[in-house]
Structure 1
Amino acid sequence: MTSAIQYQGRKARRTGSEQRRQAILEASLSIIVREGIRAVRHRAVAREAEVPLSATTYYFKDISDLIADTFTLFAERAMKEVIEPFKEQAFGLMSQFSRDSLENPQERDRLVKMLAQMMAAFIVDELQNRRDHVVAEQAFIQEAILDARLRELADMYLRQHVETLTMACELFGCKEPKLDAELIFATFLTIEQRLLVHPEKISQEFVEKRMYNMLDKVVPLHG
């Protein structure tokens, strides 16, 4: 995915210039998380990044280019720091099971419980320790509805999640692995969104109960 990502704004030609451009994107992302996308303006970003106003307008003449590149940075970073580590953890857990072992109802239930625990721990950790990432992700997905230039990037980003879950569902032997993967990911997003609004509900038990209920319907019992 990262090789397919294309930035919109003016390219930096020197190391110092790239650092300044990066600082502008970081500042834009901070404003989005704190105040929302509509608060992203050249003056606000320049002030946040502690750079001259001329620097933001040099790299990003169009504010929509700045927003698009901010989400490009977010997607690129999320691939390395969130999606890949989660993928490794999930497939490491599933390597303990085989499709034959899932013919045993107890083993199948053990897998469902372990996956529910792992996913719940991941969501709780995201909301407690990387809340900015979750807020930015939700903002990114919502903005793609309004900005056609973001749709391809958003689709690419979301597809990475679904493809990982599709591989997992294929290992489970699901009849409709892609549809089941979409269901799992939709549950993920819905729970995160709900807990952003109601942080008082954030707990391992709250999330795990809902993930188990969904996974118990998705993971087939063989034999």
Structure 2
Amino acid sequence: MTNVIQYQGRKARRAGSEQRRQAILEAALAIIVKDGIRSVRHRAVAREADVPLSATTYYFKDISDLIADTFTLFAERALTEVIEPFKQKAFTLLSQFSRSSLADPVQRERMVKLIGQMLSGFILDEFHQRRGHLIAEQAFLQEAVLDERLRDLADLYLRQQLESLKIATELFGSSNPRLDAELILSTMMTLEQRLLVHPENATAEFVDARMCNLIDKLLPHG
């Protein structure tokens, strides 16, 4: 992971300098969430971070470096603060079941419901508690299409999520864990994007129905 997560801008040499550099990146991320990525400008970031304009141009010679490092910070945090906790929660839930559970229709139905609701709960928690994270994620993945420096980082970010889902699909006996994991992740990200556009759909009833339907189709019958 550390071989891929590499910052582009000038490195800070002292603790105080690192704090200022972090403040600049935090400010840029806040601007992306509030006003969109094209609103990131040295002057706007300096104002948001409450630092001299010269500080932003010192650490980041151009806007593309500033944006790249902002998304590097975003991905680094998301891997530890969002993806890893989700992985631990998922494995705790799945440890309640075994493949033999699928032979019992009642247990299978319970498994479908619990897994679907866990995934739904994650999506809704992201929307209600970390809406800024979802907006930043969408912007990050879109920018990776345009900036090749971000592609390896975006691939790592998605791969970490896929690996967790792949292990989960293996545990419940998928015949093609990788493809099933990709399908689950793409469905979750599509739903997240849909909720950002249509927040009136951010209900347990709406999201549960879609995730449980997907898991029911993917979960093998005993």
Name the TM-score class by shorter chain. Answer: over 0.9
Query: 2:4–2:152: 8 Å Cα contact kept in structure 1?
Result: no
Deviation at 1:115, TM superposition (A): 0.8
Aligned residue pairs, count: 222
Partners of 1:112 and 1:43 in 2: CA distance:
51
Deviation at 1:122, TM superposition (A): 1.3
Q: For 2:108, what is the secondary structure of its paired residue? A: helix
TM-superposition CA deviations, 1:76-98 (whole Å, max 9, x none): 11011110111111110000001
Residue in 2 that maps onto 1:155 = 155
Residue in 1 that maps onto 2:88 = 88
Deviation at 1:113, TM superposition (A): 0.3
Residue in 2 that maps onto 1:51 = 51
Deviation at 1:3, TM superposition (A): 5.6
Under a length normalisation based on structure 1, what TM-score does the superposition of the two structures give? 0.97
Partners of 2:194 and 2:4 in 1: CA distance:
32
Residue in 1 that maps onto 2:4 = 4
Is residue 182 of structure 1 aligned with residue 166 of structure 2? no
TM-superposition CA deviations, 1:101-154 (whole Å, max 9, x none): 222121111111001111111111111111000100011111111111111110
Partners of 2:129 and 2:109 in 1: CA distance:
30
Partners of 1:133 and 1:24 in 2: CA distance:
17
Paired AA for residue 9 in structure 2: G
Please say which of residues 36-45 and 120-129 is displaced more in the overlay. Answer: 120-129
Residue in 2 that maps onto 1:60 = 60
Deviation at 1:208, TM superposition (A): 0.3
Paired AA for residue 195 in structure 2: L
Is residue 33 of structure 1 aligned with residue 33 of structure 2? yes
Deviation at 1:2, TM superposition (A): 4.7
Partners of 2:5 and 2:109 in 1: CA distance:
40
Deviation at 1:100, TM superposition (A): 1.3
| Root-mean-square deviation (Å) | 0.9
Gapped regions of structure 2 (runs ≥ 5)? none
Identity over aligned residues, as a percent?
69
Partners of 2:39 and 2:130 in 1: CA distance:
21
Deviation at 1:203, TM superposition (A): 0.4
Matches within 5 A, 1:120-131: 120-131=120-131
Query: 1:42–1:56: 8 Å Cα contact kept in structure 2?
Result: yes
Query: 1:27–1:45: 8 Å Cα contact kept in structure 2?
Result: yes
Deviation at 1:32, TM superposition (A): 0.3
Q: For 2:12, what is the secondary structure of its paired residue? A: coil
Residue in 1 that maps onto 2:23 = 23
Q: For 2:120, what is the secondary structure of its paired residue? A: helix
TM-superposition CA deviations, 1:31-62 (whole Å, max 9, x none): 00001110001011001000001100010002
Gapped regions of structure 1 (runs ≥ 5)? none
Deviation at 1:4, TM superposition (A): 3.4
Paired AA for residue 8 in structure 1: Q
TM-superposition CA deviations, 1:150-184 (whole Å, max 9, x none): 11110110110011100001111111100000000
Q: For 2:99, what is the secondary structure of its paired residue? A: coil
Residue in 1 that maps onto 2:216 = 216
Query: 1:24–1:49: 8 Å Cα contact kept in structure 2?
Result: yes
Partners of 1:186 and 1:2 in 2: CA distance:
26
Query: 1:2–1:76: 8 Å Cα contact kept in structure 2?
Result: no
